[in-house]
């Protein structure tokens, strides 16, 4: 059974224990139909998949444009780990996510998903600021890069969030950057 994106987000929000603001969704909705309830991750176990989804959302959240989970970057990462990554990288992500969850349990006596958005942000910020706190050095920074590159090299990230120019013609070395001009994505 396919559920609507709105319901799915509500459901996901329930799972994640947070509430999404459900406005400004139009552009994102046309990009990605979310069915998280029935979705079967190809690499991560359910618990880590939800954890990955939450972290992905915290790294590039929805603003006036779609966030990383809105366009399925967490699924992209799941697919990449299943099909693209070596066994060594797979293990790093498995244990890396476990270690982030363990940080939450150690400091807040509950799993990462059950922490408040504020607590979650704090945990990630400490990993971001102090790479040595990662169980494997720099795991969070790698995961963050995975989310960033997954988002901006996607069609939405590359051509809606940023500007894509497949056939520029003559190169112009000195143009004016206006206040609202987005960066070229490639």
Partner 1 sequence: MKNINSNSNDFDAIVVGSGISGGWAAKELTEKGLKVALIERGKNTIHGKDYLGEGKAPWDLPYHGKIPEDTLNNEYFIQQQNYALNQSTKHFFVSDKENPYKTEKDKPFSWIRGYQLGGRSLLWYRQSYRWSEMDFAANKIDGYGADWPIRYKDIAPWYDYVETFAGISGSQEGLSQLPDGKFLPPMEMNCVELEVKKNIENKFPGRKMIIGRCAHLTKPTKEHLELGRGQCQSRDECERGCSFGAYFSSLSATLPAARRTNNLTIFTDSIAHSVEYDKENKRASGINVVNSKTNKFSRINARIIFLCASTLGTTQIMLNSKSESFPNGIANSSGILGHFLMDHIFESGANGVYPRFQDKYFKGRRPNGIYIPRYHNIDKKDDRFLRGFGFQGGGKRPGWKRGRAIKGFGVDLKEQLKRPGPWTFSLGGFGEMLPDKRNKVWLDQKQKDKWGIPILNIECVLRENELKMLKVMAEDAKEMLEASGMVDVITYNNSAPPGLAIHEMGTARMGHDPKTSVLNKHNQCHDVPNLFITDGSCMTSSACQNPSLTYMALTARAADSAVEMLQEGGI
3-state secondary structure of 40: coil
C-alpha span between 151 and 104 (Å, rounded): 26
**In contact, 149 and 157? CB cutoff 8 Å:** no
For partner 1, the closer of residues 7 and 165 by Cβ is 165
- Smallest gap, in angstroms, from Cβ of residue 74 to partner 1? 15
C-alpha span between 169 and 152 (Å, rounded): 23
Tokens found for residue 83: 């099909």
- Smallest gap, in angstroms, from Cβ of residue 186 to partner 1? 7
β-bridge mates for residue 163, sequence order: 184
- Smallest gap, in angstroms, from Cβ of residue 183 to partner 1? 4
- Smallest gap, in angstroms, from Cβ of residue 141 to partner 1? 8
In the complex, which residues of this chain contact partner 1 (CB under 8 A)?
Answer: 58-61, 63, 67, 76, 80, 83-86, 89, 121, 124-125, 128-129, 144-145, 148-150, 152-155, 157-159, 161-162, 164-177, 181-186
**In contact, 70 and 31? CB cutoff 8 Å:** yes
For partner 1, the closer of residues 18 and 148 by Cβ is 148
For partner 1, the closer of residues 11 and 90 by Cβ is 90
């Amino acid at each position: 059974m396919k559920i609507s994106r709105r319901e799915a987000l509500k459901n996901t929000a329930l799972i994640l224990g947070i509430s999404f603001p459900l406005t400004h969704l139009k552009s994102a909705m046309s990009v990605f139909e979310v069915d998280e309830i029935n979705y079967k991750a190809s690499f991560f176990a359910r618990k880590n998949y939800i954890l990955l989804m939450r972290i992905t959302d915290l790294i590039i959240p929805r603003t006036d444009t779609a966030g990383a989970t809105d366009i399925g970057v967490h699924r992209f990462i799941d697919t990449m780990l299943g099909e693209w990554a070596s066994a060594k990288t797979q293990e790093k992500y498995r244990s890396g996510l476990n270690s982030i969850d363990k940080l939450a349990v150690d400091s807040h006596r509950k799993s990462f998903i059950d922490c408040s958005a504020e607590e979650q942000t704090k945990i990630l910020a400490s990993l971001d600021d102090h790479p040595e706190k990662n169980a494997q050095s720099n795991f969070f920074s790698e995961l963050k890069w995975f989310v960033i590159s997954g988002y901006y090299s996607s069609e939405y990230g590359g051509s809606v969030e940023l500007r894509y120019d497949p056939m520029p013609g003559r190169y112009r070395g000195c143009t004016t950057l206006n206040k609202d001009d987005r960066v070229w994505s490639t």
